[in-house]
């Protein structure tokens, strides 16, 4: 489902190759100068920037803010050679602060230690494939993704022992997905 412009404060993490920039992952603005993303997204040593207020990757709609990443802090336990161990999280320090407005907003995070209940209504957003092997969309997408109880998610019919206590499981209508969350005070 295509996302309504400005409804969710998603950012585009981009890397530079030559004189061009390319989308690689999404992220969330957690402070005016900090972005939360996945550690595997920043494992390469390249120049990164974030585009805040992004909606269509192929069109400059005039509301975007382009800010360079000045520092990357990956979780101390992240191991790119052992993804199943978890801790796939990183904080990006921005070279300058974002200007908050109706299109650039801070993400709403759960309270420290919060446990989301089974079927808690979540929404996933991003520019990822919507079908296996399909093309990447240029417009931000969204889909409902209810939380699945940890007791269900850790059964063999879901993810089994790969589920960590630092993860939130989500999926619905037969879909199975895992979103890792590490509640860290920034």
Residue 138, pLDDT score: 93
Q: With b meaning 16 or more CB within 10 Å and e meaning fewer, what string describes 156-182?
A: eebbeeebbebbbbbbbeeeebbebee
Name the token pair of 80.
């790119």
Residue 153, pLDDT score: 85
Q: Who's near 32: CB < 8 A, 6+ residues apart?
A: 97, 98, 100, 106
Q: Who's near 83: CB < 8 A, 6+ residues apart?
A: 40
Separation CA 84–CA 80 (nearest Å): 9
Least confident of 27-31, 44-48, 167-171: 167-171
Return the bridge partners of 142, or none: 125
Return the bridge partners of 170, or none: 147, 177
DSSP H helices in the chain: 150-153
pTM, to two decimals? 0.84
How many C-alpha atoms does 102 have within 13 Å on its Cβ side? Answer: 3
- 8 A C-beta contact, residue 34 and residue 92: yes
Per-residue model confidence as pLDDT tens digits over 6-15: 677 789 999 9
With 90 as the cut, is the pLDDT of residue 91 above it? yes
Task: Name the pLDDT band for 174 (thresholds 50, 70, 90).
Answer: very low
Per-residue model confidence as pLDDT tens digits over 31-77: 999 999 999 999 998 999 999 999 999 999 999 999 999 999 999 99
> DSSP strand E in the chain: where?
10-17, 20-31, 34-37, 48-52, 65-74, 90-94, 123-126, 141-144, 147-148, 167-170, 177-180
**CA angle 173–28–46, rounded 5-degree value:** 115
How many C-alpha atoms does 59 have within 13 Å on its Cβ side? Answer: 8
Secondary structure of residue 89 in the 3-state scheme? coil
């Amino acid at each position: 489902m295509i996302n309504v412009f400005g409804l969710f404060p998603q950012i585009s993490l981009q890397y530079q190759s030559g004189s061009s920039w390319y989308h690689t992952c999404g992220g969330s603005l957690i402070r005016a100068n900090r972005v939360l993303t996945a550690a595997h997204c920043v494992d390469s040593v390249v120049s990164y920037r974030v585009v805040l207020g992004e909606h269509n990757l192929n069109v400059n709609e005039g509301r975007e803010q382009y800010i360079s990443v000045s520092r990357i802090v990956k979780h101390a336990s992240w191991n790119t050679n052992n993804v199943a161990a978890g801790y796939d999280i990183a904080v990006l320090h921005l070279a300058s602060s974002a200007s908050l407005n109706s299109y650039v907003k801070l993400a709403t995070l759960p309270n420290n230690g919060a446990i989301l209940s089974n079927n808690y209504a979540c929404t996933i957003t991003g520019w990822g494939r919507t079908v296996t092997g399909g093309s990447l969309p240029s417009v931000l997408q969204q889909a409902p993704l209810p939380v699945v109880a940890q007791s269900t998610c850790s059964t063999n019919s879901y993810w089994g022992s790969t589920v960590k206590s630092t993860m939130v499981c989500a999926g619905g209508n037969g879909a199975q997905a895992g979103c890792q969350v590490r509640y860290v005070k920034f």
